Amino acid sequence: MAYFAELDTNNIVIRVVVVDNEYDTEDGSDWCEEFFGGGTWVRTARDSSIRANYAGVGFHYDTQLDAFIPPKPYDSWSLDEGTCRWEAPVPYPEDADPTLPYMWDEDNIQWVLEEPLELEA
């Protein structure tokens, strides 16, 4: 299957569609314009083999990087232009137990262990 993202006037993805493999080229954007009517369509790939990331609603298409950038999760995070993904200013704890949930604490700019929920009996 081929995947195309429709962009609004600010290059924000407003929808992603799946089309037949015969349109699995950049020319598929012309087909999408004709079939769905107008708009700007950019090819994307589920395996992120093109344009850094698979497009999702709300992602920004950066024309200079030719990449889909996910929404910025926190103000303190910065974009790694090599991967086109957001990175925390503090690395994720290397010794973190994968069974424990660490969450980003934007107020204190650090990773913190999320307190488990206590269920009432």
Q: Kindly report, residue by residue over 93-112, the tens digit of the pLDDT.
A: 888 788 888 899 999 999 99
Round to whole Å and give the CA distance between 116 and 82: 35
| Rg value, the chain, Cα | 19
pLDDT lower than 70: segments of the chain: 23-24, 116-119, 121
* β-sheet bridge partners, residue 2: 19
Round to whole Å and give the CA distance between 24 and 4: 9
